[in-house]
Amino acid sequence: MPLILGIETSCDETSAAVVADGTRILSNVISSQAVHKDFGGVVPELAARAHVRNLLPVVRAALRGAGASLEDVDAIAVTAGPGLVGALLVGVSFAKSVAFARGLPLLAVHHIEAHLFATRLLDPPAALDFLALVVSGGHTALIQVDGPRRYRLLGETIDDAAGEAFDKVAKLVGLPYPGGAEVDRLARRGDPGAFDLPRSRLAAGSLDFSFSGLKTAVKYLLRDRPELIEPSRLPDLLASFQAAAVDVLVEKTMAAARRSGKRRVALVGGVAANTSLRERLAAAAARERIELVVPPPVLCTDNAAMVAAVGDHLLGIGANASLDLTPQAILPLPTERSASDS
């Protein structure tokens, strides 16, 4: 039963985890960086510095929580991209050092693949055979998953990711960063039909996304009607914005499920914690008798347990990385993109 130490530093969460057999979490420690609240968004240099400070204590806490030491670890898995290159470099440098010093296999993990493998950490583990909606601050994509390392990109955002749009709208109305959760909270008190905001569906049959127009529509609405930022009016505005974003996410996910023939849909990534998205997607899946798989919020946010889960698979197939591993800010997921969707 391999024991994998996972390291995640792709953005503003410093995380380390110990996972047994690719499916059983022994520990999963996440340290979020509060420093970015003062700037209304992640500052890459500050994120990297915070990882330098946090990583060793987080790793120690993960090993302690698992009742293990480095002597018990069979391999070390680390996010190698995509992400903020300075932040990634901290995690990769640490992992390379430990792998070299301890003579351990080094396993380079793709961040999006890790989100897909979060479903393997459920009880019972989900088979990697589903249509995945990956939604986070940096990514929005529809991926047909036919097995480990068998992925087909069906659609992706052409501009802002869904989480990015939520955070930008939150900033427009003066909510603190990260604003996605606060938008969700306030929107639950509002009327989603109060304002007719645009739903960008792009070309007929497209499974790609675009959220920049929706964000801009909110910006112009606030310019023309500044009173909407008042506490009594804001929930209606945010509910309308959230409904417009969720409508498109749900519609295209179900269209992708039908096109791929998948009878299971997985919702993964940080925005998977959004209550409206969970509820609307669950209702749509139930109508079409499709199983919906959603990891708990702690496994939707950036975390090292999902990194270790991928590492277990990589170790099993002998896909070890060399010690000259270099992190990549942009790193395509190995996929086969449908020619009809290009």
CA distances, 83 to each of 24, 136, 277, 339 (Å): 26, 12, 24, 27
Please count the other Cβ atoms lying within 10 Å of the Cβ belonging to residue 39: 10
Domain ranges of the chain: 3-118+299-341, 127-294
Task: Check for a shared fold between 3-118+299-341 and 127-294.
Answer: yes
pLDDT, tens digit, for every residue of 305-339?
Answer: 999 999 999 999 999 999 999 999 999 987 655 43
Q: 155 CB contacts (<8 Å, ≥6 apart)?
A: 141, 142, 206, 207, 208, 209, 252, 256, 341
Per the listing, tokens 């499916």 go with 23
Helix (H, G, I), strand (E, B) or coil at 131: strand
* 127-294: in CATH 3.40.50.2300: no
Share of the chain above pLDDT 90, in %: 90
Cβ atoms of residues 77 and 34 within 8 Å? no
Which tokens belong to 155?
């659609």
Please count the other Cβ atoms lying within 10 Å of the Cβ belonging to residue 251: 15
pLDDT, tens digit, for every residue of 177-192?
Answer: 888 999 999 999 999 9
Cβ atoms of residues 157 and 210 within 8 Å? yes
Cβ atoms of residues 261 and 217 within 8 Å? no
| Predicted model pTM | 0.93
- Strand-pair partners of 16: 7, 29
Report the CATH superfamily, name and number, of domain 3-118+299-341. ATPase, nucleotide binding domain (3.30.420.40)
Cβ atoms of residues 10 and 111 within 8 Å? yes
